[in-house]
Copies of this chain bind each other. A is one copy, B any other.
Amino acid sequence: MAATETRLLLLGAVLLFEPVNGYQVRRELLSWGVEEWGRINPGSIYSGLATLTKQGHLRRDDLREGSRTVAVYTSTAEGRAEFDRLLGEALESVDITAPLAFHTALSLLPLVRRSVYADHLRARLKRHAELADAAPPSELARRMAPPHLPWMLDLWQRSAALDREWVELLLAEIDSGGLMFAGEPTDWLPPPEDPGWEMHDERQRYRDALGLDPPASPTST
């Protein structure tokens, strides 16, 4: 669980679907295509949920479901705070060699309010500007380095430029009212293949068993 992306993804999945069990989290993440880009495997999900529980970010209740016991997770206030912190970090920090955290944060966009998300993206652009100002490697350093290093630098600079330009496009879309964020009415419904639908009955059972209040859509600080 060093991997920040895994924490973020797990907290996000619980916030979206709580009360939820480990297998449901797994299925939902798989349906997002996370098997391809998120490098997550069954073991990490369960151990990740256990770690987050130990740290107080999640709460685990073992419910009797007929003859067997199911571990059902809900988020705590600290968990929500941790999620907001991790998401902000993933959105604001620029690391060309590890774009996974940013991709993860993009996929969790519906969990956050529009203005909060936009502010994080603006902070990311500021960070880009700082990096561009800082340390343009001296001509001397360039000439002393082995000849393939300038090529690597060039690739990094192009990658950074792409990231910056794309974030500007996304920000423009968000500021002009595009996309759907937490706390906003939406006419979009998950497709029938999405396990989110199949989870409905179980979620209701879990809610009843835990004595939780009705729906409550996930919103953000």
A77 at the interface (CB under 8 A from B): no
Residue of B nearest to A189 (CB): B144
Query: Taking chain A's interface residues, is the majority helix, strand, or loop, or is none over half, making it mixed?
Result: helix
Contact (Cβ within 8 A) A110 B166: no
| A interface residues, tally (CB under 8 Å) | 35
A180 neighbours in B (Cβ, 8 Å): 146-148
Contact (Cβ within 8 A) A145 B191: yes
Contact of A158 among B97, B166, B173 (CB under 8 A): B166
Contact (Cβ within 8 A) A148 B106: yes
A149 neighbours in B (Cβ, 8 Å): 107
A99 to B151 CA separation, bound complex (whole angstroms): 15
Contact (Cβ within 8 A) A179 B148: yes
Question: Which residues 167-214 of A sit at the B interface, judged by CB distance below 8 A?
Answer: 170, 173, 178-180, 188, 190-191
Q: How far is the CB of A50 from chain B (nearest CB, A)?
A: 20
A158 to B188 CA separation, bound complex (whole angstroms): 26
A98 neighbours in B (Cβ, 8 Å): 39, 98, 100
Question: Which residues 117-173 of A sit at the B interface, judged by CB distance below 8 A?
Answer: 144-149, 151-152, 154-155, 158-159, 162, 166, 170, 173
A191 neighbours in B (Cβ, 8 Å): 144-145
A98 to B99 CA separation, bound complex (whole angstroms): 7
Contact (Cβ within 8 A) B188 A106: no
Q: A106-B148, A110-B148, A146-B180 are in contact. List 15 more A-B contacts (CB 8 A).
A: A37-B96, A38-B97, A39-B98, A97-B100, A103-B152, A103-B155, A106-B152, A107-B152, A147-B179, A147-B188, A148-B179, A151-B173, A151-B179, A154-B166, A159-B162
Task: Identify the A interface with B (CB < 8 A).
Answer: 37-39, 96-100, 103, 106-107, 109-110, 144-149, 151-152, 154-155, 158-159, 162, 166, 170, 173, 178-180, 188, 190-191
